[in-house]
Structure 1
Amino acid sequence: MAGNPEWLAKVTEPALEPALPIIDPHHHLWVHPGSRYELEELLADTGQGHNIRATVFVECMAMYRADGPEHLKPVGETEYVNGIAAKSASGGFGEMRACAGIVSYADLRLGSAVDEVLEAHIAAAPARFRGIRHASAFDASPEVYPTHTNPPEGLLGHKDFREGFKRLSKYNLSFDAWLYHRQIPELTALARTNPDTVIIFDHFGGPIGIGRYEGKRSEIFAQWKKDVAELASCPNVVAKLGGINMEVNGYGWHKRDLPPTSDELVAATRDWYLHSIDIFGPKRCMFESNFPVDKLSCSYGIVWNAYKKIASGFTAEEKKDLFHDTAARVYRIGAA
């Protein structure tokens, strides 16, 4: 079965450039029926030979509070992750610092009332809380599954959402944007009207490759390049490079008898990475794992080998930005 350890173990590779310091700026933690990904599972992945120094947790509706006001229930996720981060920071599990940055959810449609939620998140993890992700990924195609927060169409332009978004800069919080490729102009409009808030463009803007988009990758890529050029003109936007091996992206890795090698990942997806780096510049780009979501398709060691092959033509200083320094700066992660 795709994504399970037995399937992933069918293809292994030694880590390339094993000394290169890495901050993984995007992973999740959860305990679902039949699916567990907590510190132990994360450590098994980050221990595959690459020099992972620290990680950033990004919200996934894990461990919300069971009771209390509805708008404050997501604070339970920050409390949960901060506990895991403290466990990692004890040093008892190695040098890697898991969840050195935490990005959680708040319903920005609360407008100015979202201040209470933001302050509760900060209080729950004062040394680690860095930002909010309120996913907006929406597509009317029935084959495209709605994202976990089930957003309405055009969320980023809604008046109440915009009012809540404006509160982020007051607390020096960033915004992680998860959307689909047709929505990139909506994010550009948001970025232009909120220049004081750092926006992280997740997963290339979710280029869809299933349903009505299947077989149209070249057409989608051509329009995506135009839309991303406009987005990159906003200096407050940085890009996370990864998260393109999900089922919705349409590469179908999970349907194969064998998982992909790093060479296969590079051959299939290189252009998305290289164009992003070209248009944003290395100082505004960071490679990400998006685990365990992308684990459906490939192993952790393989995906970081693919990134190192994609970055092989860049200078040592540019690699520092792509693998470590951009993430450290954006998420305010200290020595790692």
Structure 2
Amino acid sequence: MTIDSHQHFWKYNPVNHGWINDEMQNIRRDFLPDQLGPLLREHHIDGCVTVQVDQTEDETMFMLSLAERYDFIRGVVGWIDLRSPDLEERLQHFRQFPRLKGFRHIVQGEPKGFLADRKFIEGVNKLARYNFTYDLLIYHHQLEEALAFVRQVPDVKIVVDHIAKPSIRTGEKTHWELNMAALATFKNVYCKVSGMVTEARWKDWKQEDFNPYLDEVFETFGTSRVMYGSDWPVCLVAASYGEQLAIVQQYIAALSESEKKLVLGENAKTFYNL
């Protein structure tokens, strides 16, 4: 099974999607399953995991409604208020949806210290009881906080989105590299090779820009804890679906067939219980 472990759908709204700035005008429109389905078929991808953009429970229900209509949406990563006093009740409610696999919070947009919030940590820990996963969306400068956070959620399956968004456009990786190596020592933590083109020079990237970062990810996490994701349609500001996929395919070309299958789908299947 080949899986795109990270993509998004939205009905564009300039208020809800204010993060789509003028430089990203080509994604200021709706992106829905009828547009993604042909791309998955073209590239021989069996299914996808769709991930929240808005931080509302309505967003979670929107994605679940799409998953009911489109079989290729194998899993949903929604949003829930992980600091809410009603969290247990909400998790009980959401466990009825088999396509709902986990949750994410946009930590990259939060102030310093957010990952140390006791209520947030307690909320993430509750996910394990319901077999829900947690997607960790951070920038590279938040990795030290992420390390302290991960130490406190040992029973939760966590995946780092977009290789923690290193500064590929500048080539800086020393602190990112050290912290990613430390993060990889936690066996409950996986890593998505996704979202890389948007951290590079959008109009002037090349394969060689990504290889040092991919070297570190594969060396530390190994082929059993790395999964491919497109970050479509966000990737379109810097690359077509095929171009961003080719970066990963070229990098793993020398791996065994069994290792390629792990990276391109089997790890996502295991992590999200697809």
Global fold match (TM > 0.5): yes
Does residue 1:152 correspond to 2:132, yes or no? no
Q: Give 1:302 deviation, angstroms.
A: 1.6
Q: Structure 1 CA distance, aligned partners of 2:166 and 2:246?
A: 22
Q: Structure 2 CA distance, aligned partners of 1:315 and 1:115?
A: 43
Q: Give 1:172 deviation, angstroms.
A: 1.2
Q: Secondary structure at the match of 2:187?
A: coil
> Could you tell me which residue of structure 2 aligns to residue 113 of structure 1?
86
Q: How does 1:49-198 map to 2 (within 5 A)?
A: 49-61=42-54, 74-89=56-71, 97-98=72-73, 100-110=74-84, 112-123=85-96, 126-137=97-108, 147=109, 151-198=110-157
Does residue 1:272 correspond to 2:266, yes or no? no
Q: Structure 2 CA distance, aligned partners of 1:240 and 1:184?
A: 15
Q: Structure 2 CA distance, aligned partners of 1:183 and 1:332?
A: 28
How many positions carry a matched residue from both structures?
A: 260
Q: How does 1:221-240 map to 2 (within 5 A)?
A: 221-240=173-192
Does residue 1:37 correspond to 2:31, yes or no? yes
Q: Give 1:250 deviation, angstroms.
A: 4.4
Q: Give 1:56 deviation, angstroms.
A: 0.2
Alpha-carbon RMSD across the aligned residues, in angstroms, is: 1.8
Q: Structure 2 CA distance, aligned partners of 1:163 and 1:313?
A: 42
- What does the per-residue CA deviation read over 1:300-331, in whole Å, with 9 as the maximum and x for residues that have no partner? 11221221111011111110110011000001
Does residue 1:300 correspond to 2:241, yes or no? yes
Percent sequence identity over aligned pairs: 27
* Higher CA-based Rg: 1
Does the CA contact (< 8 Å) of 1:75 and 1:120 recur in 2?
Answer: no
Using the size of structure 2 for normalisation, the TM-score is 0.89
Q: Structure 1 CA distance, aligned partners of 2:215 and 2:200?
A: 20
Unaligned runs of 5+ in 1: 1-20, 65-73, 90-96, 138-146
Does the CA contact (< 8 Å) of 1:277 and 1:285 recur in 2?
Answer: yes
Q: Secondary structure at the match of 1:30?
A: coil
Q: Structure 2 CA distance, aligned partners of 1:173 and 1:127?
A: 11
Match of 1:241 among 170, 193, 212: 193
Match of 2:4 among 3, 16, 24: 24
Match of 1:252 among 195, 202, 206: 202
Q: Structure 2 CA distance, aligned partners of 1:165 and 1:175?
A: 7
Unaligned runs of 5+ in 2: 14-27
Does the CA contact (< 8 Å) of 2:9 and 2:50 recur in 1?
Answer: yes
Which amino acid in the other structure matches residue 269 of structure 2? A
Which amino acid in the other structure matches residue 43 of structure 1? G
- What does the per-residue CA deviation read over 1:64-110, in whole Å, with 9 as the maximum and x for residues that have no partner? 8xxxxxxxxx2322222222222222xxxxxxx12x11111112222
Q: Secondary structure at the match of 2:6?
A: strand
Query: 236-245 or 79-88: which moved more?
Result: 79-88
Using the size of structure 1 for normalisation, the TM-score is 0.73
Which amino acid in the other structure matches residue 107 of structure 1? D
> Could you tell me which residue of structure 1 aligns to residue 22 of structure 2?
none
- What does the per-residue CA deviation read over 1:6-28, in whole Å, with 9 as the maximum and x for residues that have no partner? xxxxxxxxxxxxxxx52000000
Q: Give 1:208 deviation, angstroms.
A: 3.7
